Amino acid sequence: MNLDIDRRAFVASLGGAAVIKLMDHEGRADALEDYSIEKLDAAVAQAQGQQPAFPTVAELEAQIETRHSRRGVGSLFVGQGLGNENVKRLEALPEKPTLLDFFQKRFMPANHVLQSATRALKTGMSEEIILACLLHDVVQNLIKVDHGWWGAQLFEPYIPVKSTFAIRYHQTLRFYADQAAGYEYPDLYKRMFGVDYVPPKYIEATYKMVRKHKWYMEPRLVTVNDLYAFDPNAVVSIEPFIDIIGRHFKQPKEGLGYDNGPVAHMWRTIQFPDSPL
């Protein structure tokens, strides 16, 4: 089962049809994925008896030209429910935070990536692919633009190179069907926008490179598990992946953000998104 996306509500959430016409197709796809992830989390919360923070169409339309952030801002920096709520106080992380600490206190509810990794686990994919599925979208808490590249950079020092490759290029491959691998061009793209996508030139160039690469199937399998990971009735947990994380994630002894590595600042930003300086 997948989400039922209301096209009118989605269009209104972006500021209307006129705004969408000004967006390139990459921007439209990113906005649709972000909207789907937020609606999935709201649907799961509602199913669990929680009050969903998801605005009505009228509320979305009332927000046009009143927002205080741009679409590319990470989820930690804006109110959830498509900007319909105020931000909340975050739980403090331990002195030497681990990946699990970040999942539990910064990335949750993370329904989409947990569903994606669960599907990869159930279909017998390699642990490198399962890990990539688990991590492929969590960087959107920091930034949403070019999330494949940003996500790969965030995790590169700590995970296998194939997992990094898969995270980096899943963003590109989502635009290109591969029936042999079980990935069809998303019908939702056509239904939402009424046109076939024309990816930006850098996406097209990246696709041609990745298609010829010996690790092409790594990011392709992330897209296969990504496409069907929007089930509001699925019950998922981080627990099945703790051993995989233990085997493949190189946790710095100083804690994420404190190892003086090339991406430590990114982890500190996620840990302290309210820091004024």
Task: Locate the domains of the chain by residue range.
Answer: 7-83, 99-271
pLDDT band at residue 47 under the 50/70/90 scheme:
low
Tens digits of per-residue pLDDT, 55-83? 554 554 555 465 566 667 888 888 766 54
CATH class of 99-271: mainly alpha
* 263, pLDDT greater than 90: yes
Residue, of 188 and 144, whose pLDDT is higher: 144
Instruction: Give the Å distances, CA to CA, from 86 to 33, 34, 68, 82, 126.
Output: 22, 18, 11, 11, 40
CA dist., res. 51 & res. 43, Å (int): 10
pLDDT at 50 over 70: no
Note the pLDDT tens digit of each residue in 14-32: 767 766 776 777 777 777 7
Quote the tokens at residue 194. 């009424």
DSSP 184-222: PPPHHHHHHHSS-----HHHHHHHHHHHTSTTTHHHHHH
- Look up the pTM and report it: 0.77
DSSP state of 75: G
